[in-house]
Amino acid sequence: MSKLDIAPTEAASPSVDLDAYFARIGYDGPREPTLEVLRALHQKHPDAIVFENVDVLLGRAISLDPADIDAKLIAAGRGGYCYEQNGLFKRVLTALGFEVTGLMARVLWMVPDDAPPRPRSHMVLGVRVPGDDTVWLADVGFGGCVLTAPLRLFSDEAQATPNGDFRILPVAELGGERRVQANLSGKWAATYQVALGAWADQDYEQVNFYTYTHPSSHFTWSLTAGRTTPTARYALKNNRLTWRDADGALVEQRDLSADELEATLRDVIGLPVEPEWRPVIEKIVAWGTPA
């Protein structure tokens, strides 16, 4: 599939309150569909609207209804995982006049090279600025290694972002899929592999249900949370906090007590911790860090 084959799958996505979204992420700039606007929104979103799966661990269903996503991620100050995050970002970009296509990727992050292939489970976006054929990979929903700038999907060169360098290489034996890699202190680490077939909004419903219900989904039995600021990346895997600087170098990694985990979720990750979270927090600490 060539770069010209990526096109919007719907005439329009459901609307979004742009004023509320911009207030949520702290953006007060232009609203034209330009590359500069795309870059600005892409950097601000992962700092303000964090990655997290707390609701799954609380036994709550994850709704992809736009009204439910907006109530959670915008009005309630919560975060979410990729279908919520990139579903919202898709509607925002569409409302601004960008051409946006939903895509799916196979996660490779921290997966051993000899592990069997996982199913495609990660939503990303292909974005075009009107009048330009360049396809940009946008992704505001990938935990502690989330992009903070769009990447040229069909460029093999290393690309700088505010939080480290990335590159996207072709996977010729898989029909032209594109493998995204992050530079971690001089070593390229695979994050995920993007398939180039377009997905409609309704196509994500089934994989979302799998993600928050199936026992093989790590979101059902471990905490994953992350926030990326202009100067740092913070990632929680159960009670283990990993802190990297903007270039990806490790600053600190340690296991947290229940009190420390609760404080980190609130003060570092930036979530409005609710009293009913405490039993889950204590259970997470008892589980420890997954291998």
Catalytic residues: 82, 122, 139
In 3-state terms, what secondary structure has residue 226?
strand
**Measured at the alpha carbon of residue 180, what is the angle toward residues 252 and 209, in degrees to the nearest 5?**
85
Contact 52, 219 (CB under 8 A): no
Task: State which amino acid sits at residue 85.
Answer: Q
Query: Counting Cβ atoms within 10 Å, is residue 252 exposed (0-12), middle (13-18) or buried (19+)?
Result: exposed
Instruction: Please state, in angstroms and rounded to a whole number, the distance separating the CA atoms of residues 142 and 189.
Output: 14
CB-CB neighbours of 156 under 10 Å = 11
What are the angstrom distances between the C-alpha of 245 and each of 65, 79, 291? Answer: 35, 22, 24
Task: State which amino acid sits at residue 157.
Answer: E
Output the six-digit token pair for 233. Answer: 């990346």
Q: Residue 190's beta-bridge partner residues?
A: 181
CB neighbours of 183 closer than 8 A, spacing ≥ 6?
158, 164, 165, 166, 167, 189, 248
Output the six-digit token pair for 162. Answer: 């505010």
CB neighbours of 114 closer than 8 A, spacing ≥ 6?
none
